Amino acid sequence: MTRGMVRFWVQLHKWSSLACTLFLLMLCLTGLPLIFHDEIDALGGDPAMSVTGIAASRDSPELRPLDAMLAKALAKRPGEIPLYMAFDSDRPLMTVTTGARPDVPASGMKIQNLNRLTGDVLEDGNGGPGHAMTEFLLQLHTDMFLGLPGELFLGVMGLVFVIAVVSGIVLYAPFMRKLDFGTLRTTRSRRLKWLDYHNLVGIVALAWMVVVGLTGVINAFVTPITKLWQANELAEMTRAYAGRPPLPPSRYGSLDVAMAAARRAIPGMNPQFIAFPGGAFSSGHHYAVFFQGATPLTENLLTTALVDAETGQLTDARPMPWYFKALSLSRPLHFGDYGGLPLKLLWAMLDLFTIVVLGSGLYLWLGRGPETGPRSAGRRAGGRAWARIRLPENVA
């Protein structure tokens, strides 16, 4: 690597880091409690956390029929129509989301928790104060309460963060080539000490930061990815219904009949959720039943069955496309939500490491001092350190 290339990577690392640091600090601070969202919901008194028994996604005579559960939910929300029905893969808990119309925004939706084993509607459908806190943090973490523009902006910041990490990797070898790995020069200046902390913690958490950064970028583009699926796969699956007026809710048929048809088309998998006609994940005429794999490796890979909501006849069934699979796999990986508490603790520790890297980088920048000459910035630790390192013409 030539001196010119070193200078280029130094500038790229500095400015990409400065551009995203404050937003990444916000994401790390809000993401830390979100790693433990299940535990926080339980401590906050969420009544759903006490529900135990057979999984709501199973096909078992012990569970109440879907039509009966939907009727209970709609009785609590007169004048509204069903939008989604989701199933827990570990407990008999299920949710029914309703709204005034199929295209109602998220702020106008009402979610009810139901016990499919007993038929009860849980009184506190909001999940208690712990759930309210995690919902607030999740929205701040995903779009800063700005909707799609906020999602896309944070996606770009995630991409800039990945660039900062990659440029830091490139610079690590030439800057640390004369020091043993993990060296901390604690007897030198405070800035030099924090530079060593910055480099060491950054290289230790390197792989995690790249993975979480990239999965965060993918998650940020959930809306464009969904629209792409609607315009391609969903449009192809419902081509025979093109031009027909949307099916009114009064003509919706039996959910249990539709689920039976979907299960016959996709055996060996469990339903994750049902999208009712008119919503973002269905057409104006179908129940869209999304199935998940039955193993830990496949539970985040979805297959869709479209069932005519009026007749209960299967229209089409196919796996989600590759870009939607990438989105589905990135969500649990981003929050470490697939390996139980040990993995969550590891994710939390690495999140704290990232906060140290971001905070130390900001400290090194803010405390760099005034410039007194063309080479003065290069003589300060944490500044243009390449200027005071004797590099050969090419660094292997």
Span 22-81, pLDDT tens digits: 999 999 999 999 999 878 877 766 666 667 788 889 888 899 999 999 999 999 999 999
Same domain, 264 and 322: yes
CA 8, distance to chain mean position in Å, is 33
Same domain, 208 and 233: no
Same domain, 124 and 185: no
Is position 396 within any domain?
Answer: no
Residue 381: per-residue pLDDT: 40
Q: How confident is the model at residue 90 (pLDDT cuts 50, 70, 90)?
A: confident
Name every residue whose Cβ is closer than 8 Å to that of residue 72 and which is 6 or more positions away in sequence: 114, 119, 121
- pLDDT digit string, tens, across residues 217-253: 999 999 999 999 999 999 999 999 998 999 999 999 9
From 305, 332, 359, the end of a domain falls on: 332
- pLDDT digit string, tens, across residues 171-193: 877 766 676 666 667 677 777 77
Is position 126 within any domain?
Answer: yes
Q: How confident is the model at residue 135 (pLDDT cuts 50, 70, 90)?
A: confident
Same domain, 116 and 239: yes
Is position 18 within any domain?
Answer: yes
> How are strands ordered across the β-sheet holding 110-115?
110-115, 93-99, 81-87, 270-275, 286-292, 302-308, 314-319
DSSP state string for 181-236: TT---TTS-HHHHHHHHHHHHHHHTHHHHHHHHHHHHHHHTHHHHHHHHIIIIIHH
Is position 268 within any domain?
Answer: yes
From 304, 332, 360, the end of a domain falls on: 332
Residue 53: per-residue pLDDT: 81
Mean pLDDT of 195-213: 84
Report the C-alpha dihedral over residues 220, 226, 227, 228, rounded to 10 degrees.
100
Does residue 286 have a pLDDT over 60?
Answer: yes
Higher pLDDT, 273 or 360: 273
Is position 308 within any domain?
Answer: yes
- Phi/psi for 95 (5° steps) reads -125, 150
Same domain, 125 and 230: yes
Does residue 307 have a pLDDT over 60?
Answer: yes
Residue 182: per-residue pLDDT: 61
Mean pLDDT of 279-289: 94
Same domain, 242 and 297: yes
Does residue 94 have a pLDDT over 90?
Answer: yes
Higher pLDDT, 315 or 295: 315
Is position 174 within any domain?
Answer: yes
Mean pLDDT for the chain? 85
Residue 348: per-residue pLDDT: 92
Residue 122: per-residue pLDDT: 84
Same domain, 31 and 155: yes
Is position 260 within any domain?
Answer: yes
Q: How confident is the model at residue 124 (pLDDT cuts 50, 70, 90)?
A: low
Strand ranges inside the chain, DSSP E: 81-87, 93-99, 110-115, 270-275, 286-292, 302-308, 314-319
Residue 340: per-residue pLDDT: 80
Same domain, 284 and 359: no
Same domain, 11 and 73: no
Name every residue whose Cβ is closer than 8 Å to that of residue 164 and which is 6 or more positions away in sequence: 13, 16, 17, 20
Mean pLDDT of 273-287: 95
Q: Which residue in this structure is represented by tokens 């792409």?
A: 228
Count of beta carbons in the 10 Å neighbourhood of residue 158: 24
Residue 69: per-residue pLDDT: 96
Same domain, 171 and 282: no
From 332, 365, 380, the end of a domain falls on: 332
- Cα-Cα end-to-end distance for the chain: 7
Residue 123: per-residue pLDDT: 66
Ranges 151-160, 264-273, 327-336: which has the least confidence: 327-336
Is position 394 within any domain?
Answer: no
**Percent share of the chain, pLDDT over 90:** 55
Same domain, 156 and 180: yes
Tell me which range, 74-88, 325-339, 376-390, is most confidently predicted by mean pLDDT. Answer: 74-88
Same domain, 113 and 256: yes
- In the chain, how many domains are there? 2
- Angstrom distance (rounded) from CA 33 to CA 140: 12
Domain that residue 301 falls in: 46-135+220-332
Does residue 393 have a pLDDT over 80?
Answer: no
Tokens representing 269? Answer: 């998998």
